[in-house]
Structure 1
Amino acid sequence: MDILWAPWRAKYISETSKVKQDECLFCRVIKEENDEQNYIVYRGKHAFIILNAFPYNTAHVMVVPYRHVPSVELLSNDEALDIFTLSTIAIRAIRDIYAPDGFNIGVNIGRVAGAGIESHIHVHIVPRWNGDSNFMPVIFNTKVMPETLSDTFKKLNTKVNEIMKKPSRSE
């Protein structure tokens, strides 16, 4: 069995478990007008794409409904469709820019399943490359990220907006 170690996330996990937030992070950022500062890559009708501020890999994004619900079965059909549509657009943009060899896509429902923000459902999209795991996280508790979140935001924001302006295949 292979194990994916991500010790650099321990700080995030310990901090979020100690802090009782008065307002959900996702609910807070969607109210604000500064998408670049909050790394909101794109706002759809029922959901938005946001960079993960504690990424497993470069271009790790999340697709989040605007409505604050803790689980997928509570989503409306329109919300679920928008989340899936934005997920496919995010994957397309990441493929075009970064050419990953694959993706991990997942939804963590509940804290025991790994949800850092358990009260607001979100889909993780993590690009993966052959050999993207190395000795640095295990030996030095350090993750090597080849570009800043700001640079990743600019690339993905530009690409997603370019994709969204193109007519869909069904039009």
Structure 2
Amino acid sequence: MTGQPAGGEPDTQYGVGEPDAFERLWTPHRIVYIKGENKPESDAEDDCPFCRIPQMDDAEGLIVRRGELAYAVLNLYPYNAGHLLICPFRHVADYTDLTDEETAEVALLTKQSMTAMRSITNPHGFNLGINQGNIAGAGIAAHLHQHVVPRWGGDSNFLPVIGRTKTIPQLLGETREMLAAAWVDANEEG
């Protein structure tokens, strides 16, 4: 569906606005994220999705790997295919509040996730990062989480740059299964 019908006349009947030179690529499935689906209403631990996810089985929660102090989970609203979050089990907001052991396990899971991802999809690089606090872009600031985003040459095409849309070529459950299997194989020695 575009902003102009095939005849070239603006379609004002449905409120699409003034015509311009841009076509529109509609992604109505993203509206749930924009409206705040799964965002906690408070900073309380019992309202936190990152505290609820570990209570689910791995497939339902999209958990790829569980450690002793942290876990790796697929992002429900990914920036790119295979986008993982590394979360401590403990409900903690600030990186400096992690224990040394939690910090080490977050780092280890990050390294292992990169190894597993390389073994199945061979990304050309990764974006790694923590958005610390709401002002820095953290969607859920009350529970620290590190992003591990695989990147490929050319993945910043017109869709994300102009259309502000990402194509995700695989269902999250399928991606979780592949990563979980690759994680074991790629990290047996470490």
Instruction: Please give the TM-score of this superposition, normalised by the length of structure 2.
Output: 0.76
The one of 112, 136, 142 aligned to 2:159: 136
Identity %: 40
**Which residue matches 1:76?**
99
Q: Unaligned stretches of 5+ in structure 1?
A: 1-7
1:20 aligns with 2:44: no
1:98 aligns with 2:121: yes
Report the CA distance between 1:12 and its aligned residue: 2.0
- Distance, in Å, in 1 between the alignment partners of 2:31 and 2:96 is 29
Instruction: Please give the TM-score of this superposition, normalised by the length of structure 1.
Output: 0.84
1:87 aligns with 2:110: yes
**Which has the larger displacement, 140-149 or 111-120?**
140-149
Give the direction of change, closer, same or farther, for the CA distance of 1:71–1:138 in structure 2 (3 Å limit). same
- Higher RCO by CA contacts (8 Å cutoff, separation 6 or greater): 1
Query: What's the secondary structure of 1:15's corresponding residue?
Result: coil
Correspondence 1:30-45 to 2 at 5 A = 30-32=54-56, 34-45=57-68
**Which residue matches 1:127?**
150
Q: Unaligned stretches of 5+ in structure 2?
A: 1-26
- Distance, in Å, in 2 between the alignment partners of 1:18 and 1:58 is 21
**Which residue matches 1:152?**
175
Matched length? 160
Pair member with larger Rg: 2
Give the direction of change, closer, same or farther, for the CA distance of 1:31–1:11 in structure 2 (3 Å limit). closer
